[in-house]
Amino acid sequence: MNDWAWSIKNLARRRLRTVLAVLGIAISAAMLLDMVMLSGSIEKSFADLLTAKGYQIRLAPKGTLPFDTEATLQSAGSIIRRLRPDPAIAAAGAGGFLLAVALAYPRGMGMGDVKLAAVMGLYLGRAVVPALAVAVFAGAVVGMALLARDGSSARKRAVPFGPFLALGGVVGLLAGDEILDWYLDTFAGG
């Protein structure tokens, strides 16, 4: 049996794992493509953000302005902290949530999932909350389907959580803020 036939036979034997792996790779590739496409406009969007907050942006060759010293770089951190405090909090919250799960049941959750959730928090900000909710819900649906199909033996089966986090990340990226605003307006009174 050659390598290709063996690979295809293995992929066909574990259909759910194959589908989840392909889904995870496709979603990861889509997010990578999105990040590459966004990276070209980050400088412009940051400039627009600074302008909207009332800061002026002046471009000049280094050393030509009287206030062009190393001391001006120290205030850049405080500007950034004032503009977007959410990503660090979101990263700590999302990573901390999955870290608690990983510490409570180490065989059920890997540290890679914790790191991925923290990075999603950095990237998505407050939209990581609906992203995690979608990931947990999708994982629960697949888990219930496995329990219905295989019975109690499915409890010992390992299902990777990364593809569900990636699915939640895409939902959070595309509609996370809108979902969160809708939830807060509907259930928390604004």
Res 86: pLDDT: 60
Q: How many CB atoms within 10 Å of residue 20?
A: 19
Where along the chain do its domains lie?
13-37+84-187
Q: Is 92 buried (19+), middle (13-18) or exposed (0-12) by CB count in 10 A?
A: middle
Res 75: pLDDT: 46
Residue 151 DSSP symbol:
G
- C-alpha span between 181 and 127 (Å, rounded): 10
Residue 14 DSSP symbol:
S
In a structure prediction context, what are the per-residue pLDDT tens digits for the chain, which is 190 residues long? 677 888 778 778 888 888 888 888 888 888 877 776 666 566 667 677 777 777 766 655 555 555 544 444 444 334 334 434 567 788 888 888 888 888 888 888 888 888 999 888 888 888 888 899 999 999 999 988 888 888 888 888 888 889 999 999 999 888 888 887 787 777 665 5
Residue type, 159: V
What is the model's pTM? 0.55
Nearest of 104, 175, 109, 107 to residue 136 by alpha carbon? 109
Res 29: pLDDT: 82
Res 132: pLDDT: 92
Res 43: pLDDT: 63
- C-alpha span between 102 and 111 (Å, rounded): 7
Res 82: pLDDT: 41
CB 153 within 8 A of CB 115: no
| 2 CB-side CA count, 13 A | 2
> DSSP string covering 84-108, please?
--HHHHHHHHHHHHHHHHHHH-TTT
